[in-house]
Amino acid sequence: MDKIRIKCPAKLNLTLEVVNRRDDGFHNINSIMQLISLYDILEITALPSENNSIILSGNSTEIPYNEKNLVYKAAVLYMETAKLSGYELRINIEKNIPVAAGLAGGSTDAAGTLFGLNKLFSELLSGEDLHKLCAKLGSDLNVCLEGGCLHATSRGENVERLPFISMPVTLIKPVGLGISAKEAYTKYAAKEYKPKYNNTGKMVEALNNGGDIRKFLYNDLEYAVFDDYEELRYIKSKLPASIMSGSGSTYFILEDISNINFPENYQFFSNLSFVPDGVKVA
């Protein structure tokens, strides 16, 4: 029996600017993404079996444990690409990253599955191969595989490493509120006025020159959904410097504010930080 544990970090969008809609229905983006010290934990076990099978389990009631889960799809894709047969894969998902929160929880678990299986099977695939599989499965997987601070373009699968800086992070999420990427992008498309600040380019310059990145934090999708959710407006009223990550509904602020008072229907994650790595062995 072979077993491995993988730490899968959450992701923040320090900037997220929508460039245009693609012919395939996705959107080209210009974004700076950063991995942070909030982790899901995967435990992957490979057992000999007559036929390939995948059994998922976990501690969350908010995700499916079947072929709809991106972890399941990642496992199937890896086994097919590596031409492996005769294995039962058991994957337990310890979910600590909120679901549908703009933190790439599903994407990082899928990237962790590809990375973990490749470790279990003596690195049958190259790093380039894994990145190609990530790009097939979704937009944020390549960022979660690569780790650190990254400039992401196209759908998010084209990544370029940026200088890493260490900063504290606090997350604030309305309990029970998830916003899908489809909803956020649809509402952005419907906006008549679309700001063009080029904050991504400005932040890249600041990172390369040791400047203050806080003044360039920005998210087009926050602009798209902000007026529709009282919870988001409440967070912004309490923490004007906070920014939404991804399609939301999580906001973040680059400070440690564990002592601030929010109602019970808001979830806090304090004492977090930027991390230089992506998915890795626990």
pLDDT tens by residue, 233-259 = 999 999 999 999 999 999 999 998 867
What is the tens place of the pLDDT at every residue in 42-96?
999 999 999 999 999 999 999 999 999 999 999 999 999 999 999 999 999 999 9
Q: Return the pLDDT at 22.
A: 85
Contact 15, 30 (CB under 8 A): yes
Closest by CA to 12, choosing from 103, 80, 100, is: 103
Whether 95 sits among the annotated catalytic residues: the reply is no
199: phi then psi, degrees, rounded to nearest 5:
-65, -25
Q: Determine which one of 109, 140, 187, 220 is catalytic.
A: 140
CA gap 57, 63 in Å, rounded: 10
Q: Return the pLDDT at 274.
A: 98
CA gap 157, 162 in Å, rounded: 15
Q: Return the pLDDT at 116.
A: 98
Q: Is 138 exposed, middle or buried (0-12, 13-18, 19+ CB in 10 A)?
A: buried
Whether 2 sits among the annotated catalytic residues: the reply is no
Instruction: Please state the pTM of the whole predicted model.
Output: 0.95
Q: Determine which one of 11, 95, 173, 187 is catalytic.
A: 11
Q: Return the pLDDT at 92.
A: 98
CA gap 117, 201 in Å, rounded: 36
CA gap 206, 135 in Å, rounded: 28
Check whether 1 has a pLDDT greater than 70: no
Domains of the chain in start order, with CATH, are 1-282 (3.30.230.10)
DSSP assignment of 50-65, as one string? Answer: SS-EEEEEES-SSS-S
Percent of the chain residues topping a pLDDT of 90: 91
